[in-house]
Each structure stands twice: as C-alpha cells, then as structure tokens.
Structure 1
Amino acid sequence: MWESPRGVRLPVAMLRPAVLLLLLLTRGMEAFRVCAFNTQRLTLVKVAQVEVMDTLVRIVARCDIMVLQEVVDPSDRAVALLLRELNRFDGSGPYSSLSSQLLGRSTYMEKYVYIYRSHRTQVLDSYVYHDQDDLFAREPFVAHFSLPSKVLPSLVLVPLHSTPKDVEKELTALYDVFLDASQHWQSKDVILLGDFNADCASLAKKRLSKLLLRTEPGFRWVIADGEDTTVRASTHCTYDRIILHGERCQNLVQSAAAFDFATNFQLTEEEALKISDHYPVEVELNQAARSIQPLSLAALLLSLLPPELARVA
C-alpha cells in the first residue's frame, strides 16, 4: 500500500500509471550542452602534459558538442590523444571529432575542431565558408548536427575565432556566413559561437551595438555583456560569445555562461593559464519546450485518483 502525506492509502498497482506517465513526460528532458573554447595554441606537446590533459578532459566532457579553437597541431595527434583520454574518462562517450584543415593567411595556421558525443549527436554535413573577399583570418568551419530532440531535430553551428585587429570587419561578415549557412541547409536554427574578441580594446561597446548581429531581429546574445571570459585576474573582457538564432532554438535555452574552470577545479591562476587564457562558454538546450512543464509526481497521482479521494488528499 502507498500512503499519501494526508493519510490516503492506495494499492501500489494504482500508482503505476502515474509513474509511467511521469517517465513519459520527463523522458528527453536532459539538457544538451553546446560549448566553445579557445584552447590557446593546442599542440601535442601541450596535451602530453598530464595536468593539462586531465583538466582538458574534464572541461570537454561537460559538453555534448565542443568547438575547440586555436588547435595548431598539423598532425592531428593532439586531438587523437584527447579523444582517447575522453573515451577512457567517465563512460559518457563515445566521443568523435570533426576537424577543419589548417586555416590562416600566413605561416601561423589554426584548425576548428568539433568534439561531440556520437551517441547523442551526429554530423549531418559541414563546409568551410567560401571567403572570396578574404574577410576572415580564419574562415568559419560550419557544421550541421542532429539533435536528440523532436522539438529541434537538427542545429547549425557557425564558429569563429576572429583576429583582434579586424574584429568589427569579421563580425560584420559573420552575418553573411549566417545567411549562407541558413540558406544552405534551409534552417533558421543557428548558433554562432567562439572567441569573437568582441570587447575591451578589440571592439568598443558603441561599435558592438551597431553590428548587424545586434541590430537585425532574431538574434539572441546569451553570454551577457560584462561577463568575464578571461582567466587572468588583470583582465575583465567578454571576448567569447554565443549567439542564437531561430525561435525553436531560443525557446529551448535553459542556461548560458562562461565556465570558470579555475574556480570549479580549484586551480591557481598559474595552473589555469597552462590550460588557456580563456574560459569556455556554453549554452544548455532543454530537449522539450520550456512552456511544457512536467507535472509533479504528487499532481500526477492526484489527477489519477477518483474525485472523492482527490478531494481528501
């Protein structure tokens, strides 16, 4: 027998429909986390350091899709080693990766690398944006991912690591990348993310407010202006950003923030700077629309009771 807080006793068998209904309503409610992280010149030598690898694994394992920037290893061995350690870490994988080619205008080149949980999401398609006017130092590597959600079955990601000297020009051009990707896959649900260098000396607030990504309707900047995404105590800049477009995508937002791994993992500033001088930024998407709230178990039980018992309970 089951007894309510007010003394109503019912056979356990009568509870089963309520429990089943609760499970059905809450199934798929687990958040899906999308992240971006400037890893500050990620090389094989860097990830071979045990303390660096351990922290990187814990950071990346928080995310269902992580977009790494400043990956400068031409051999791909650094990412392969990171994947190996991730898949050994906590059973939350398996993890897979998708890398761009080396991108850049000079001898200094970087890759964008997506690391994702392959049992929760898959790459549907990807391409490097055709930057015919050479507006980007590192043109975005755009990808289309599946999502484990009936509300939002797929999502387009547009990462950018801008160069500090051309932030305004690159962020203006990023609007065109959004249009291109949105048209390419006929999707309005797009996340633009990465180290935009969109603050402090690199971009004045007045210039930031005039960007098309700010003035055009439909865009939501979920990393708030003024949030510090830098590790050094001497800096306070919102360089790293996440921008959402699309009603379905925006309706699923549960939370968004920079992840202060130094504080969370109890690292000194010196120890944290061995990982990066940036914090990752992340957004959590709830797999069911926020307007549909699951009933509490008590409410479900009451809804299944006969009216006379419900009044007593």
Structure 2
Amino acid sequence: MMEKTLVVFLVVVQAVCQVPLTTSPPPTLSTSVTSTPTTAAPTDRLIKIGAFNIQSFGKTKYGRLDVRDYLVQIVTQYDAIMIQEIKDVSETMIYKFLADCQLHRNFSMVLSARLGRSRYREQYALFYDHDKLTVNKYAEYPDPQDIFHREPLIVHLMEKTKGKELTLMGVHTDPDDVPEELGEMENAYNWAVGQGYPTNALMMGDFNADCNYFKASEYSSVSLATNSSFTWLIDGSADTTVSDRTDCAYDRFVSTGTGLFSNTTVDRFDLTFHLNVSQAKRISDHYPIRTIWVA
C-alpha cells in the first residue's frame, strides 16, 4: 500500500516518502490576522490548507485515546496540512495516524527524513486529500550553508480540477536561530524555483517568529520580512499558542507569487471542542493555522 522513495540532497540520499499518494508592507508586531474576502470560485477549488505543530508528537501522545480522537477531527478538516514536530524514533506512529485519518478522507502523505543536528530529530508530514490534490514532486532543501536545524520540506502540489499548482514549504525553525533560518527561506524558495517548482508558493509552519525568539528590531535584517514580494498572511498580533500566559505569533503563513489566499486565521480547537487550557495542551501547545487557497 505504501511506497518509500529516497530523495537525494547534497549528493546524499535522504528518505522522503509518499503514501498513495499582493504585495503587502513588511509584517509588524501590531496588526492582525489577515482575513480577506473569499473570491467567488467553485467550492471544489477552495483548498483548505493548514500547518500544525503537534507538540512532541509520538507514540505516547498518540496512545491517549481522547487526544487521538481530537487530532483526527482537527486534521481531517483540511485538504492539505503540514504536520510538524513528529518525534517517533521508530517512524511508525505517523502511519497509524494516517490510517486513522483515512477512515474519514482519502488522505495521502509525504514524509520527510528525520531532521536535526543531534540525537534530537523531528519529521515533517504533509497529509493531503488525494481526491482533490496530487503531489508532482517533493524535496528537502539541500541547505548548502547548513543554516537550518531542520531543513524545509518542499512540495509541488497540484489541484486536480483546473491543474493549478502551488509550492508548499514547511519549516520548524530552531528557537535559538530564528533570524538566521528565516533569512535563508528566500534562498530556499529560489532554489525550489530553480528546480522547477511553481513560483506561486506558500511557506508555513512554526517559525518561532515572535516574542523572545524574533523581536521587532530583528525584522529589518530578514529579507523574508522586508522584501515586498513576500506577504505575511498571519502577522505579529495573532496568538498561536495554547496558553493563558503567552501571546505569541509563532506559527505563520508567508505567500509569494500570484496565488490567491483568503480567510486566513488561527484554528482555535479549544473553542471548537469546549476545552480548558489544561485539556487543550494535552493535544498541543500550538493551535493550527489555516488559510484558503483559491485554486
């Protein structure tokens, strides 16, 4: 049922697997979540895209039946969702999660190698609805200067009805090196375009792009924040943390090209499921972020 593919970067093959298968001003720390009107389009061309850092996502967390049920409900709302912080050393739990989600949607998966500079490593997984979308190719950014602790996962996504294409770039930055890693995202994008990926792109994930990790004074040194070719769909006034003591916009979408995105927001699953902070944090310390791609 599942096929593993080895993808070569920096001349060495890294494991990445696939299972059946506007410009705006630089972001500031004081404006709000983008919520543009949805452009009229057939509903099958409105692709709901998400990014979700599922804190310490491994066998222990997935073994909690209530958490498992909530995670399946959250993730299967999306047509495509980039999952971060997968920490299962055996690399088996994510397949069980995929199988549980497949009971509700015809999901396929792209899975990165285990990424990191030490014994601590994480994976990315893109779940996507194979009835609506297809993946033409995928890769991990080769990162020639070794800037990233966890190199971005880059995916060439295509909508099946009209054949519209989009590059997805998922990343979980290291909190100690946020300006450096975000500064390299433009180079990662340029590399992807040079490899034939679509120029219309959506960067996503836990950027750690706020509070103590990425201060307002550091924005000017990061081209992703100053280059008007990049639009930050979620800015610094949002709160993507599941806590009553923090207010930080760690998780972000950044778009470039002519792709249309609307109704971008933070997915407050605690409100959906009527959970208190303690109950919600059993699921994750991050909320998912979501946007609509008008394909």
Please classify the TM superposition score into its range, dividing by the shorter chain length: 0.7 to 0.9
3-state SS of the aligned residue for 1:88?
coil
Tell whether the 8 Å contact from 1:200 to 1:237 is kept in structure 2 after alignment: yes
The 5-angstrom pairing of residues 274-285 of structure 1 reads: 274-285=282-293
**1:86 and 1:98 mapped to 2: Cα distance?**
14
Of 86, 95, 118, which residue of structure 2 is paired with 1:106? 118
TM value normalised by structure 2: 0.83
What's the counterpart of residue 221 of structure 1?
A: 232
Q: TM-score, normalised by structure 1?
A: 0.78
Closer/same/farther in 2, CA of residues 138 and 266 from structure 1, 3 Å limit: same
More strand as a share of residues: 2
Alignment size in residue pairs = 256
Given that residues 160 and 194 in structure 1 are in contact (C-alpha distance below 8 angstroms), is that contact kept between their aligned partners in structure 2? yes
State the structure with bigger RCO (CA 8 A, min sep 6), 1 or 2: 2
Question: SS state of the match for residue 122, structure 1?
Answer: strand
Structure 2, unpaired ranges of 5+: 1-39
Task: Determine the C-alpha separation between the residues in 2 that align with 1:226 and 1:28.
Answer: 30
- Residues 1-313 of structure 1 correspond to what in structure 2 (within 5 A)? 27-28=42-43, 30-89=45-104, 93-150=105-162, 153-247=164-258, 249=259, 252-287=260-295
Partner-residue secondary structure (3-state), 2:202: strand
Decide whether aligned partners of structure 1 residues 42 and 209 sit closer, same or farther in structure 2, where only a CA change above 3 A counts. same
Native 8 Å contact 1:259 1:281 kept in 2: yes
Deviations 1:84-135 (A, max 9, x none): 221223xxx1111111110000010000111111111111101111122211
In the TM superposition, residue 30 of structure 1 has moved relative to its aligned partner by 4.9
> Between Structure 1 and Structure 2, which shows a larger proportion of helix residues?
1
Q: Say which is worse superposed, 167-176 or 184-193, in terms of deviation.
A: 184-193
Letter in 1 for 2:202: I
Cα deviation, 1:238-286, whole Å, max 9, x if unaligned, reads: 0000001111x1xx22210110111111111111111110011111122
In 2, Cα distance between the equivalents of 1:220 and 1:26? Answer: 22
Report if aligned partners of 2:143, 2:188 keep a CA contact under 8 Å in 1: no
Q: Counterparts of 1:50 and 1:239 in 2: how far apart (Å)?
A: 28
**Counterpart-to-counterpart distance in 2, 1:26 and 1:59:** 25
Distance 1:233 1:210 in 2: 31
Q: Which runs of 4+ in 1 moved over 4 A?
A: none
Distance in 1 (alpha carbons) for counterparts of 2:200 and 2:280: 34
Which residue of structure 2 aligns with residue 15 of structure 1?
none
Judged with a 3 Å threshold, the aligned counterparts in structure 2 of structure 1 residues 217 and 88 are, in CA distance, closer, same or farther, namely same
Separation in structure 1 between the aligned mates of residue 86 and residue 197 of structure 2, nearest angstrom: 30
Where does residue 22 of structure 1 map in the other structure?
none
Query: Counterparts of 2:135 and 2:198 in 1: how far apart (Å)?
Result: 15
